[in-house]
Amino acid sequence: MRTTRSPMHVLVIGGGIGGLCLAQGLHRAGIGVTVYERDESAEGRRQGYRLRISPEGEYALRECLPPALVELLVATSNERDDAGLVAYDEHLVQQWAPAFEDPRGNAPDKIDAVDRVTLRRILLAGLGDVVRFGKTFDRYELTADGRVVAHFEDGSTAEGDVLVAADGTNSRIRAQARPWDIPRDLGVRTVFSRIPRASAVDGGMPEVLRDRFSYVIGTDGHHIGLMPMTFRSRPTEAAARLWPDADLADLDDYYMSVFNVHGEDLGMTDEAFFALSGEELCALVVERTRTWHPDLRGIFRHAEPAVTFAVALRATDPVEAWEDGPVVPLGDAVHTMPPSGGVGANTAVRDAAALTRALVAVERGERERAEAFAEYQKAMVEYATDGVQMSLKIAQWSIKKVQDT
């Protein structure tokens, strides 16, 4: 018999991929849920562009989303190719690169990469007022009867049976519940940007980089990753056909570009680096690659400054379960990891599917809350630890100094 009142209501703090995937799963299961997101609208978040979807991530998305949204996700996903991952040095000499097995094979509806903004829009579809924008979480308090109250900076509150910490690497919920639990800085500084495919190809992008997930690992300590995003269908056309209210943006094919450099090689303070504008960040990358192969030097000149931003790479090590109670973690709040291979987002949606199952079992009286949360966290710690280690290994391969931090 479950310990919360009926009907259950779940408060989710954070409207990123993990929090929205959870909301879709709970909404589909008929469990009351409200998502509180600090962004003023769906336009407000910048976390990257192209996102690799692993087999586990795809299974989780299919489990949480209604069939029509799964179909929309398939229609707007990356047009697959079998070129795989390839690596070069700054002179375009091919290097060893890891290979990855994919049990999905050549399934025609395989989802192996998506546009992150499109994915978030799809995850918002059909939720209506389940998602409250412009709500910045401040703190929580536990009530005498085992419920939880969320307080927001605007002075409002919300009470529920469960509070889900889906508020990311800088989680305020984690800071209150576990102030000692701080992801470690890996020392790597990253510039994310988007490069229109047409501009890059017309500008002379080498043929070997055009249709592959490519790394250029410079011996000078600088590294660029290029990931093609070629839509199966234009997002607006797919939405018009499958879910007109999804409000998808009309995007052209592009490359997500990721420039990495260790702080020791950056030559400026973090304060100065993170104060750079998009234009200045693009110019920085062009300058740092000026001695590279002629076909590589100009790639970043085609990057879009308006969507270029910088981040610091961090990781949670070790991943640990949180204490028993109505506050439960999900995603980067509990297992921050570098963006290598898109492992973090896939782990977050895996959390969402597993936590949906746990909460459904509680709602149905099949599990007590403490038991269900303990089982969820035990499994999550295991696969999230594997995810952190995998992302660190990929980062250590391409950004050598990660292993020295």
pLDDT in tens, 149-177: 999 999 999 999 999 999 999 999 999 99
- Report the distance separating Cα 186 and Cα 263, nearest Å: 9
Cβ atoms of 25 and 70 closer than 8 Å:
no
> Alpha-carbon Rg of the chain, whole angstroms?
21
pLDDT for 259 equals: 95
Cis previous bond, 179, omega within 30: no
Please report where in the chains the tokens 């501009």 appear, as a residue: 199
pLDDT for 12 equals: 98
Higher pLDDT, 79 or 28: 28
The closest of 309, 222, 308 to 259, measured between CA atoms, is 222
- pLDDT at 269 > cutoff 70: yes
pLDDT for 81 equals: 64
- Report the distance separating Cα 251 and Cα 241, nearest Å: 16
Q: What's the average model confidence in pLDDT over 213-232?
A: 92
The confidence band for 83, taking pLDDT boundaries of 50, 70 and 90, is low
pLDDT for 398 equals: 72
Higher pLDDT, 6 or 280: 280
pLDDT for 405 equals: 43
258 Cβ contact list (under 8 Å, min separation 6): 48, 190, 191, 192, 224, 225, 226, 227, 339
Q: What's the average model confidence in pLDDT over 348-374?
A: 97
The confidence band for 104, taking pLDDT boundaries of 50, 70 and 90, is confident
**Mean pLDDT estimate for the chain:** 92
Q: What is the DSSP letter of 152?
A: E
pLDDT for 2 equals: 43
The confidence band for 339, taking pLDDT boundaries of 50, 70 and 90, is confident
Please report where in the chains the tokens 């592959």 appear, as a residue: 212
pLDDT for 11 equals: 98
Cβ atoms of 174 and 333 closer than 8 Å:
yes
Higher pLDDT, 132 or 106: 132
The closest of 405, 345, 350 to 381, measured between CA atoms, is 350
Tell me what percent of the residues of the chain surpass a pLDDT of 90.
Answer: 79
Sheet strands side by side (includes 254-262): 94-95, 85-88, 213-217, 222-229, 254-262, 184-196, 309-315
